[in-house]
Amino acid sequence: MKKIATLLLLLMLSVSLFHIEVHGFFRIHWETRDTRFVEGIRHTKIVGTIDFNGVESRQVINYFGANTALRDDLHIIVGDNYADYGWGMGNISTITHNIHDRYPHFTVVGGVNGDFYNMMTGHPVMAYVRNYEVLTPGLVHRTLLGFKEDGSLVAGTPCLLGHELIVFNEDGARKLAQPVARLNSLPANDDEIAVFFPNYQGTITSSHQKVIIDAMDIKLDESDTRFFGKGILNAETTGETIVPEHGFVIVGTNFNDDELITNGDVVLVQQKLGCGFEDIRYGIGAWEILVKDGVPTTHLTHGAGPQFRHPRTALGITADGTIFFVTVDGRNRPGGMEGVTAYEMAEIMAHFDAVDAYNLDGGGSTTMYIKGDDGTYETINTPSDGSLRRLSNALFFVKGYEQPVPPPALFPDDRPRLDQPPHAHVDAEGVLRFHPVGNAAGYQVRINGVDVITENPYLPLDLPEGEHNVRVRALGGVDFQNSPFTDTMVIHVYPEDINRFIELLKSYLRRQQED
């Protein structure tokens, strides 16, 4: 009896001296497990059951992931269907189309739905960053997934450091950035600048310098307290002015006397992110942390009903830097798609070796969309709505080469500016030709928004059928400013049979003139 009592005492002491954490039992029993590679990205589909602490459920799980840091031609970016001067929604097919329009140098390989959002307006719940532009700092301050230029992932809660004004020259090089002290109210001293947005209903009557910007885009949150604006110079005045419906006004003592903002520059007003998120290129919101340091989360207080079964979407990252998306279908028990709790989703992410994992929007939004062998796209999972839901935003693997960020521009820049390349034209052989420019370090040819650099005053153009916009300018190098671009040349490339017909027609007209 004494031995039993001693054993019990030792056991109690061991419990009090050491922290014992017991994780639930989890196992996936698959009926089918199919893996393929799409442009080098692994897609695995599992059909079967999961067993979590003795509770079994039938599931369909899709995995899609790759290590983008090991490939220069593979990136993770965000996409959306936002309108200028507001928000918007679109299904993942529409968003894919938008990405191809916005980034002609990228081809979408596949993706999943993104952040939670206001289903009336499309405004995402958390911050959203698209190609360095902070379109919104979010309606709620919580987890942000940020993707850097080198393919690395930053996750956490960013600091909000106030709004800033950034000016880019026509090359996209940053000229200057400075804090915006006030929004929709006048500067308090000569060192401050303020920005007035269209939700300001009054007249700006001060004698400050006022720089009026034509906006390409403006976004406000539902409370009209967080602002985003992007535009070009319209006018300057010290007189009374109102804010244009599609514009904003920068106000400051002698602001722009140094010609910080000139024709061709792009002006950006946005929230500045900090705490490790300063240099993210893309960012999208998440909610619960499902896995931390390789351990599935066992206590969730938020998310979309963590204890209930739903379709779910999540992002994970492994120890070697592989980033992957997972969707689990649900709300279709007869079809073997029961859905999972957030705790089961955490276990699934750990099953795929996630060191850290984050819950994205789910339910009817859960979608995985992947490019097929024939170049068309397929919805891989089974959306619970029965069709593709309109989303606020989404996350994608894309193939291609990211446009480099130009180094900061000189400001002020007192270097002489080169002249435009004269007599730019495309000859009968499809070669772009122009006269050389003295002191030019090379030439930049912009074709449909994509730049090609050449050292010679000519460039063979191998263009597909269709209409193409071409411009060219001389590059100044270290000692000179770049020249302005030439006027846009619109080039039509026709099918070969139409080209033969045009040549025959030209020949006929020449003979008619000779006769």
Asked whether residue 138 falls in the same domain as residue 164, the answer is no
The per-residue pLDDT for 127 is 96
Asked whether residue 335 falls in the same domain as residue 438, the answer is no
Out of 217, 247, 274, a domain closes at 274
**Each residue's pLDDT tens digit, 388-439:** 999 999 999 999 999 889 889 999 988 999 999 999 999 988 999 999 999 9
Residue 391 gets which letter from DSSP? Answer: B
Asked whether residue 382 falls in the same domain as residue 327, the answer is yes
SS3 509: helix
Asked whether residue 165 falls in the same domain as residue 149, the answer is no
CB atoms near residue 318 (< 10 Å): 17
Count Cβ atoms within 10 A of the Cβ of residue 67 and give its class: 0-12 exposed, 13-18 middle, 19 or more buried: middle
Domain limits for position 97: 26-158+280-400
- The b-or-e profile of 19-43 (16+ CB within 10 A means b, else e) is eeeeeeebebeeeeeeeeebbebeb
Asked whether residue 94 falls in the same domain as residue 109, the answer is yes
Q: Strand 182-183 relative to strand 193-196: parallel, antiparallel, unpaired?
A: parallel
The per-residue pLDDT for 502 is 57
Asked whether residue 354 falls in the same domain as residue 336, the answer is yes
Q: How many domains does the chain have?
A: 3
The per-residue pLDDT for 227 is 94
Instruction: Give the number of C-alpha atoms closer than 13 A to the C-alpha of residue 410, restricted to the C-beta side.
Output: 12
The per-residue pLDDT for 119 is 94
Asked whether residue 165 falls in the same domain as residue 265, the answer is yes
Distance CA 422, CA 419 (A): 8
Out of 235, 255, 274, a domain closes at 274
The per-residue pLDDT for 504 is 62
The per-residue pLDDT for 508 is 59
The per-residue pLDDT for 107 is 97
Asked whether residue 252 falls in the same domain as residue 352, the answer is no
The low-confidence residues of the chain, meaning pLDDT below 70, are: 1-23, 301-304, 497-513, 515
Strands lying side by side in the sheet with 182-183: 174-179, 159-168, 266-274, 227-237, 209-220, 247-252, 193-196, 182-183
CATH number at residue 192: 2.60.120
The per-residue pLDDT for 497 is 62
From the list 221, 214, 141, 127, the residue with the least C-alpha distance to 183 is 221
Residue 417 counted as domain residue: no
